[in-house]
Chain A
Amino acid sequence: MIALARGPATFALTADPEAVIDGLCALLPARRDQPPDEHLLLLDTPDGRLVAAGALLLRGAGEGPVEVRLRQDGAPDLSVLAPAPPAFARGLPPGELRTRLLDLAEMRRLLPVLELQHCTRGLDVLDEERKTVARVRLQLTSVRPYGADGSWETLPASLTLEPLRGYDEAAAAVLAVLHSRPGLQAEEENANARLRTVAARTLPPPPPVPGADVRHGLRADEALRRILRAHLATMRWNEPGLRADLDSEFLHDWRVAVRRTRCMLGQIKRVFPAAERDRFRTELGWLARATGPVRDLDVFLLLLEDVAEGSDSIGDLAPIIADLRQRHREEHALLVAALDSPKARDLLSAWDEFLSRKPGRHPGARDALLPLGELAAARLRKLHRRIVRDGESLGPTAPAAALHELRIAAKKMRYVLDAARRLFETEPADAVLAALKKLQSVLGEAHDAHVQAGLLDEVARRLAGEGANASVLLAAGRLAERLSSREAGARAAFAERLSAFSAPATRKSVERLWKPRKGGR
């Protein structure tokens, strides 16, 4: 008997699909299934997370209540009826699909990538009880990029045998029949995989990974230019989504790119001429600061949405969320205005031009011709010592500002490590990164809780002044307790994380990061 692997079996069609179905219908005890043709949209996050995870998210193309389907190889298909097309996973009704999609997409916007015309013809193979024991589905799909008016691309028709649990023998018999059809060719790639391939080539290519084109032998100024060009590309990639406020991650990724840029300019100092280095560092700082309020509000709103959804009732958070959203809109408008300003335009244009310059024989900076790895490793040693020294001087009641300074130092260390990672020895780099991440995590937690407490205090006072009712103020109070508890928890974990970071093993790893190569110093 032909062995049936767990999971569906797929066949490509080399004969007329209707003739194949008619032939199977004449042979198999079956009930035809001919659902109406569908007009669907395939959704994904802007960075293609779903396709990358082997998943497909489909919805009806209409604007009212729509069926949303999630398909992922190796997992059962899920579907749910949503009251409106979902912009985020969070907007779906509670259930398995929402839970799984939240894991995959997190807070990212769900955007249409492809438009599909989808036709399914099928047979439900029955036993003597007229119980379905296997399903045979023929899929005919045409696709085109969402928003394009061009012609449709017809994907090869495929026929799938879907076994049902507990009916392996029936499925094996149907599989043997399918193998006997000259018009069917067994294949590995199923219809889902084909659709993911089309989606993957339709999604915009991601920005380059900073440092991916940095290799040993490059002089530091050229290596650094390559890294910074990648960060600039990341900023440009995220700017449209940031402007449209599609989701919080566009701004986050844009800000990270700016921070990493400024960090490298500040930490690897003598690679570019000082005047230009300082100018760009300063002006990019201005641009980054213009985005700070929106980012803080993004993070807080995400937290509040989580809290509001939680099963334990914290009270009426809706007015607080509404107030913060209004403030977000106002700050976002200011952010866009800053990006549109002549100052910002000129800055980015000048920066682009600076990064595009070819390395000259007289670079105008003392360390420009040295290996970047050597410079970065030296900087990392200094940063490590500083963090350990400053961290050990902080007690459990250290002011939030002091922890914030330490957090900034840890970020700088992280950015330098990330930028030059390809030039370092792998094992020590991994060890340093692991210890640094753990330290950053508690510092970030403490900082966020502190900032959010400040925002909450502002909002609560304003709402109280406007006559908000007791349940709102009670909710604010409970939330403030939670934030305080989070901050305290993070501070309590700080000592232990710092201890691991300052341990001899980590210090040795920092020392061993850089190993000169032939041709380098």
Chain B
Amino acid sequence: MSVLAVTHIKGGVGKTTTAVNLALLAAREGPALLWDLDPQGAASYTLRVRPRTPVGAARLLVDEDALQESIKATDHPGLDLLPADFSLRKLDALLARRDGLGGGLQRALRPLRRQYRHVLLDCPPGISFLAENVFDAADALVLPTPPVPLSLRTLARLCRHVAHRRGKRPHLLPFLSLLDRRKAVHAAVAEWAATHTDLVLPTAMPYAALVEEMAVRRAPLGAFAAGSQPAQAVEDLWAEIQRRLERPPIDGLLLADALDELLARPQGAEPRPPAERPAPPAAAPAAGREVEFKLALGGEADVAALLAALPAGSPPPGPAREQLNHFFDTPGGALRRARLALRLREEAGRFRLTAKGPAAATADEALADRPEEEVSLDATWAFDLLGERRSALEVLVARLGPRHPPLVDELLRAAGDRPLRRVASFRNERRQLGPLELPGADGPVSLTLELDRSEFPGGRVDHEVEAEVVPAQAEAARAALASLFSRAGLPWQTAPSKAERLFARLR
């Protein structure tokens, strides 16, 4: 297992780019972790990870559970990330303490060494207590260095410091980054590096637009530009790092002297997509009441008989539409006891949340007359409901607004402060029949029927026909339907609501 720290005193040298790209390659060999130690959080941003909860830098150093809880999988197999958090700005001060937090980075890394084949550290710029901790903890310092005097100068300084320090001296692995051979200074340094491959890794990372695209696409190079020249350079760099770790370390003092000598010479997007969560659509106007006939059919044979009894010229049934119906209630069934129902229906990618009240007493027991309120939801809301991230009643109220109908108040009263959860679901196949012109006593009655085939938990399958009517039409509709059933030789049998049948199956 190796701990590689990507670091440099100067900022903007390509540390994060290097760390993220090397981490992807490391993950190919076995589980790898990238620890984003820079409060800027650039590595975390590139890998699309937000901190789960900001546990605080201090806890990360001393609390192994907090450390483990903070690790997140990335989109790239085998690569995990310990994301940055703004509290890391305090990390230096914490590590400077003489109590248990001092020297905490090496301690924090110990359990990670057992879990991961490689751990990479994306370090912030500067030379500080954090840097000293990194030098103690890391097996190697990977040092991206732009081929310009200021960067080379600080590299020399860093090498001297590491060479002279009392504690552990990790391998030094400097390489040229952001190399643009069109620039005279860059070309000269590159030429120098080519003759000093014992002190500087021969692989250089070019300055490339593709590299800048990493922050736009928010992915490592290997994920979107695997065959490109910069990606190949990263592969070469990784291979070179592995080889160098097997050999005696680069002499930091020799390197620093060589750099001083060099400096002494005279010198020439998948564009971000829109947010996934669209604005919720306006609530559909609530119907207020559902008035319908609900009649049981014995099975497929009864359905066929009914169809055969239709007047000549009637349209055939429409195509079957699959519906998934989910019912929500309190754990104790408070809504059901109050003869209320709250249902989410999925059909062809559309979602509707429907509240139903108790059926009013009617003269005709085949006619169900109940209050109903319905809103349409987008997938985000539906996921929140089915994913148990929001209460169905909360969503209904949110969609209907503060002036909601009395039915919603009834639901709120019945539920109290108990949460609503999905309690049961069933699948329904619905075919529309009509509009039909059915013979009636006073002339044809226009009706649209719904043929339903419902599959309940446990395997029971029911068939029924529904006909939603306006109250003024109810009598004529009943007569027309009764005549149809009679011609089909079918008994006139009222069907209980599907919710009642569903809960009966569950008892």
Contacts and interface: CB of A to CB of B under 8 A. Distances in A.
A132 B78 CA distance: 14
A173 interface: yes
A80 B72 CA distance: 23
A306 interface: no
A311 B246 CA distance: 9
Contacts, number: 106
Contacts of B70: 166
A96 B383 contact: no
A244 interface: no
A130 interface: yes
Contacts of B225: none
Interface string A92-127: 001110010000000000000000000000001010
A19 B48 contact: no
B386 A166 contact: no
A96 B29 contact: yes
Contacts of A126: 276
A76 B79 CA distance: 11
Contacts of A76: 31, 78
Interface of A: 1-2, 15, 19, 23, 26-29, 76-80, 94-96, 99, 124, 126, 128-132, 164-167, 169, 172-174, 176-177, 180-183, 311
Given A28-B379, A96-B31, A164 B72 contact: yes
B383 A173 contact: yes
Contact of A166 (B71, B246, B349, B387): B71
B114 to A, nearest CB: 13
A94 B239 CA distance: 13
B426 A182 contact: yes
Interface string B420-442: 00100111000000000000000
B429 to A, nearest CB: 12
B326 interface: yes
B277 A128 contact: yes
Contact of A128 (B75, B276, B422): B276
Given A96-B30, A128-B275, A166-B72, A183 B427 contact: yes
Contacts of A77: 77
Given A26-B346, A177-B383, A182-B425, A94 B29 contact: yes
22 contacts: A19-B322, A27-B346, A27-B379, A28-B379, A29-B383, A78-B30, A96-B29, A128-B275, A130-B273, A164-B73, A165-B71, A166-B49, A166-B70, A166-B71, A166-B72, A166-B73, A169-B389, A172-B387, A172-B388, A180-B422, A182-B324, A182-B455
Given A96-B30, A173-B387, A174-B387, A180 B276 contact: no
Interface of B: 28-31, 47-50, 52, 69-73, 75, 77-78, 80, 117, 218, 246, 273, 275-277, 322, 324, 326, 346, 348-349, 351, 379-380, 382-384, 386-389, 422, 425-427, 455, 457
Contacts of A28: 379, 383
Contacts of A79: 77
Nearest to B457: A182
A77 B422 CA distance: 34
Nearest to B387: A173
Contacts of A311: 246
A172 B31 CA distance: 24
B28 A95 contact: yes
A206 B218 CA distance: 52
A131 B386 contact: no
Nearest to A131: B48
A274 B302 CA distance: 86
A167 B275 contact: no
A181 B324 contact: yes
A58 to B, nearest CB: 15
- The winner among A95, A176, A182 for most chain B CB atoms within 10 A is A182
Contact of A167 (B28, B72, B276): B72
Given A176-B387, A182-B426, A132 B276 contact: no
Contacts of A2: 388
Nearest to B326: A180
A183 B427 CA distance: 8
